[in-house]
A and B are shown apart, each in its own frame.
Chain A
Amino acid sequence: MSDADRMNFVIAAYAIAALGLAGMIGFVLRDYFRLSARLRVLQGKFGRGDEA
């Protein structure tokens, strides 16, 4: 296997890692924004809910 072929595997590994790590960050942030928006709506209706 030539050096160029080997480098293709390195590039593929880094690309997959970048996508995976970005995906993890994206999922956590997406969850946060969705949940905080939903919580704001509910807190507007029912208060903070501490009395529950």
Chain B
Amino acid sequence: MTGILLSPPEAAAVRSVKCRYCPVHPRALKRGLMLNLANPANFLAAAQRVLPWLAGATALLFAIGLTLAFDAPPDYQQGETVRIMYLHVPAAWMATFIYGVMTLAALGTLVWRHPLADAAQKAAAPLGAAFTFLCLTTGSLWGKPMWGTFWVWDARLTSVLVLFIIYLGLIALWRTIDDFGRAARAAAILTLVGCVNLPIIKFSVDWWNTLHQPASVFRLGGPTIAPQLLWPLLVMALAFTLLFLTLHIMAIRNEILRRRIARLTMLGAERLDMLGQGLAAGAMSR
């Protein structure tokens, strides 16, 4: 791992260089943590320090959350089926939370031109799609015993399906455009357009008559769930959030490595080109 991460003197050397694909403005680095992390070398060093702690905390919270989830009493109406809630609800929260993170990253790309914002946005899309898929499948498996059907075209389910399709569209867009800068701007615009769906998801159960139940945790009158069921849910939600943070940092690190590979490949191609030109010039002079 240390072979590809930079030592502090090397990181300082990189800070003084304006990279072609992830431009860094050395003057701006003194302004604060977010700007300091804008430097890919600093981000890699920080990720290396933070990731083991994050991974450990995630594993611990999952262990506690799952213990609490299976220790919690069954629901008086739903019976054991209520245990699907400890997966479905955190997955649903993460699906919308990740899109919120991507929206902020899109603003970072278009407005503040943060050098790692596009990497953060690109890295979050597959994770968001995976959490949305988990939300849809676990919800479907909860729906069959409770509603008698795996799927209905009601507003909440349909708007979450639309969110899943937007995630897939963003992943496809990133893969379609080769140029990092152009792909980042196009994806940022699509992300900002798609964020209209977030309030629709949240308020769909209030605006339309749906089979899906209304909000029972984040509501004005306070949670309507019994504390014995609520605490495991909150611990699992925290575990899912930490898992996302861990995977997101790892995926951003992968994106930085991918760009370094692209830069070195370009460098290699330029050197080969120069070598070819030199050989041709030598042959002409002879």
Is B57 interfacial (CB-CB < 8 Å)?
no
Q: Which of B76-84, B104-112, B114-122, B175-183 contacts A (4 or more CB under 8 A)?
A: B76-84
User: How big is chain B's contact interface, by range?
Assistant: 35 or more
Are B87's CB and A39's CB within 8 A?
no
Complex interface: chain A residues within 8 A of B267 (CB): 46, 49, 52
A20 CA to B87 CA in the complex, in Å? 11
Are B81's CB and A10's CB within 8 A?
yes
Are A52's CB and B1's CB within 8 A?
no
B252 to chain A, nearest CB (A): 10
Are B247's CB and A38's CB within 8 A?
no
A7 CA to B247 CA in the complex, in Å? 30
Are A52's CB and B266's CB within 8 A?
yes
Are A50's CB and B80's CB within 8 A?
no
Give B88-129 as 1s and 0s: 1 = Cβ < 8 Å from A's Cβ atoms.
100100000000000000000000000000000000001100
Name A1-18 residues within 8 Å CB distance of B: 1, 3, 5-7, 9-10, 12-14, 16-17
A34 to chain B, nearest CB (A): 9
Complex interface: chain A residues within 8 A of B87 (CB): 13-14, 17
Are A42's CB and B80's CB within 8 A?
no
A39 CA to B79 CA in the complex, in Å? 53
User: How big is chain A's contact interface, by range?
Assistant: 35 or more
Are B268's CB and A9's CB within 8 A?
no
A46 CA to B136 CA in the complex, in Å? 46
Complex interface: chain B residues within 8 A of A14 (CB): 83, 87
Complex interface: chain B residues within 8 A of A35 (CB): 254, 257-258, 261
A52 to chain B, nearest CB (A): 5
- Closest chain A residue to B129, Cβ basis: A24
A5 CA to B114 CA in the complex, in Å? 52
Residues of A within 8 A of B (CB): 1, 3, 5-7, 9-10, 12-14, 16-17, 20-21, 23-25, 27-29, 31-32, 35-36, 38-40, 42-43, 45-46, 48-52
Besides the known contacts A9-B84, A24-B126, 6 further A-B residue pairs in the complex with CB atoms under 8 A apart: A12-B141, A21-B134, A23-B130, A27-B126, A46-B267, A48-B10
